[in-house]
Amino acid sequence: MRKRGIFTDQDFASREETRKSDYYRGFLATFGANWSAGVGIKIADEEWALMLQRGDRLGPFEFAEQKKLLQLSGPLQQAALIAHSLSFGRAMGVADAFDMIGRAGLLIDRYGRVLRCNRHAEGYIGTHLLISRGEVSCFLSQETNDLRKMVHGLCFGLDRISAGVRSVVIAGKGRRPLLVQGVALENGPAIISQRRGPCC
């Protein structure tokens, strides 16, 4: 897919192999989905594929059909880029909103990396928090472990279901402790922010 922009079943299995395969014949064929093609879409550091499937009536995707499907690649790429930009813009707006109400906020992507550090959060970098290669940490290892556990839970879905670590107290370097909380946003990103309370 990375080389040609498309892949099909024929790229990794011969017709004879698919004919004898329990997976193709015994499972996929019963749903009329034993032949597939995937059109590649790349956005930032993510790779996606639009999957098309069909049964024996139409058979495998031949070379001429693959060429036609490749013509979809450009419009699909544009549509995905627009959707990604809108989602990214909305997430950036959340970080800006925290600035407007005087709250520190770090926008974290779905992989746990810092996407954006708002103006108020910058005041805590070097005194409570450290950011290196997109990863947030603290001066004390236990606080770093607690913070990363919270971020991991938010970004990988653990805290969306169960009651995991939602807030962490971070000792200040010559300053008052900072109480931070994590909030999961739609579709993966999260924000960790300063929380009002006795510690702040």
Residue pLDDT, tens place only, 30-86: 888 889 999 988 877 778 888 899 988 898 999 999 998 888 888 888 777 766 665
> Considering the chain, what is the average pLDDT of its residues?
81
Query: Which amino acid appears at position 168 of this protein?
Result: V
Alpha carbon distance 166, 143 (integer Å): 13
Alpha carbon distance 1, 86 (integer Å): 26
Alpha carbon distance 197, 7 (integer Å): 54
Range in 90-99, 112-121, 129-138, 145-154 the model is least confident about: 90-99
Residue 28 has pLDDT above 60, yes or no: yes
pTM above 0.85, yes or no: no
Which three-class secondary structure state does DSSP give residue 86? helix
Residue 123 has pLDDT above 50, yes or no: yes
Could you give all domains of the chain from N- to C-terminal order, each with its CATH number? 6-71 (no CATH), 102-194 (3.30.450.20)
DSSP structure string for 120-180: HHHTTBTTTEEEETTEEEESSHHHHHHHHHHHHHHHSSHHHHS----EEEE--SSS--EEE
Residue 142 has pLDDT above 90, yes or no: yes
Q: Which residues contact 52 (CB under 8 A, 6 or more apart)?
A: 36, 37, 38, 39, 61, 69
Res. 163 pLDDT band, cuts 50 70 90: very low
- Phi then psi for residue 8, to 5 deg, are -135, 170
pLDDT the model gives residue 188: 56
Long-range contacts of the stretch 134-141 (C-beta < 8 A, 24+): 136/106, 136/108, 136/192, 138/170, 138/171, 139/171, 139/173, 140/171
Q: What is the mean pLDDT of residues 141-160?
A: 81
Alpha carbon distance 16, 39 (integer Å): 24
Percent over 70 (pLDDT), the chain? 82
